Structures are given as C-alpha cells and as structure tokens.
Amino acid sequence: MYVSSPARRTLAVSINYMNRAETVHRILILTACLLAGGAYTTRASKTEQVPPRTSLAQFPYQVGAWQGQRAEDFPTEILDVLGVDEYLNRVYTSGRSYAGLYIGYYDSQRQGDTIHSPLNCLPGSGWAPVSKSYLTIPVRTGGATQSITVNRYVVQKGLDQHVVLYWYQSHGRVVANEYKSKVLMVYDAVRLNRTDAAMIRIISPRLGTSPEAEENANAAAIGFAQDIFPLLDQYIPS
C-alpha cells in the first residue's frame, strides 16, 4: 500500500515518539527498582530491631480445656534443615480430642533460614495429601473478633488420616499462602527492617472410620486454633 511522504513523516514521528515514551517508561521502572534495591540494601546492613517477646518455652500447657505435654524433640539434622531460632512441639488433649501443636519461630530470615512449608515435610515422612483447601476461622484477640484464613489439609499414611491446619504469622498479620508470605517478608524488610516470623501448625488425628470421624478431627483442630490464637501475640511480636 502506498503511503504519501507527509503520511510517512507523520508515521515516523509517531513511531519515534512511541519509542522514546517506551524508553522513558523503562528508565522509570529501572530507577524505581534501583531505589528499592538501595533502600533494601541500606536496611539490610542494619541490625534488625525485633520487639521483645516471650519465649515459646513459657507457652502454657493448660489452654482452656486443653492439657498439653511436651512431644519428642526434633533431631539435630531436622533442626539444621528447619533453621528455626526457637520452636515448640507439644500434644494437647481435651477429652477424646487431640491436637499436635508446632510453632517454628525465626528472628530473621535474611541469612537463608526461611520458613519451611509443611507440604515439604509431611510427604517426606510418608504422609500423602488427600485434600487441600483454605479455611476461614473466626478468632478473638484483644477483646475483638476477627477472621483468619488458614490452610487446611487432610493427609494420610496407611489407614491413618490427620487434619492439618497451618498458617504464617508476623507483625500482627496472618497469611495462608506461602508465596504471599515471602513477598510480604521482603516488603517488611524494606519498610520495617524486620523479617521475623513464625509458622503455626495444628494436627488433629481422625479417630475411627465413621463419616463423622473427619468432622470431629476438623472441629478439634479449629477449636484448638481458636483457643490458642489470643495467646500468640506475646510469643510472635506484632
């Protein structure tokens, strides 16, 4: 198709303008990235200022109607993989209900010791996922009611089934998604100069093979999560 000289000049000017606009846009993006990187580097060079917190060793053994007892300590090779600064591993019972509680706390995640998802650990122990979903739970904290979203998995090994609830918690925030948690960690590293965080996992066994058995395990896990949640702020700083 023939294009007249004036039209060609107009087209050339338009293309040149678009190229310059795209170049400017790229420069602005690069500048923003460099500024963010500089801010992160400056923050990273400073010691993280984590607020005081209570040691997990002081977490109560009696929580409502739940009575806890210390579970077996993790072997050194497991702790080396987890990289936790402090952890809690207990079993709580209330009547015929059981709840295993694990809390892994990290003072800092800058040196490569980041939170490990249970999805990486459970299959290695022989537990296969049967179903997975997100679950919204109403909880009370500071005298107010709020809702948190957590991961819910049903896992199985042989004839045994467990309901697993877990979430990531840091700086007063509860996050279910692992990738969102890592993005927010970088954001808080720049904004607050903090990467401290914890992962909370609750496991409740399915007792029996009746259709109600899974619901009972699910109700036990949810009830236990609701009972411990108001206590967590003093062990995981906001």
Query: Does the pLDDT of residue 157 top 50, yes or no?
Result: yes
Q: What pLDDT is recorded for position 115?
A: 83
For 109-134, write each residue's pLDDT tens digit. Answer: 887 667 878 877 777 678 888 999 99
Query: Does the pLDDT of residue 196 top 50, yes or no?
Result: yes
* Contact call for residues 157 and 69 (beta carbons, < 8 A): no
- The reported pTM is 0.78
Q: How far apart are CA 25 and CA 200, in angstroms?
A: 43
For 93-106, write each residue's pLDDT tens digit. Answer: 999 999 999 999 99
In the chain, where the domains are located: 1-45, 56-234
For 39-95, write each residue's pLDDT tens digit. Answer: 444 444 468 888 899 999 999 999 999 999 999 999 998 888 888 999 999 999 999
Q: What pLDDT is recorded for position 114?
A: 77
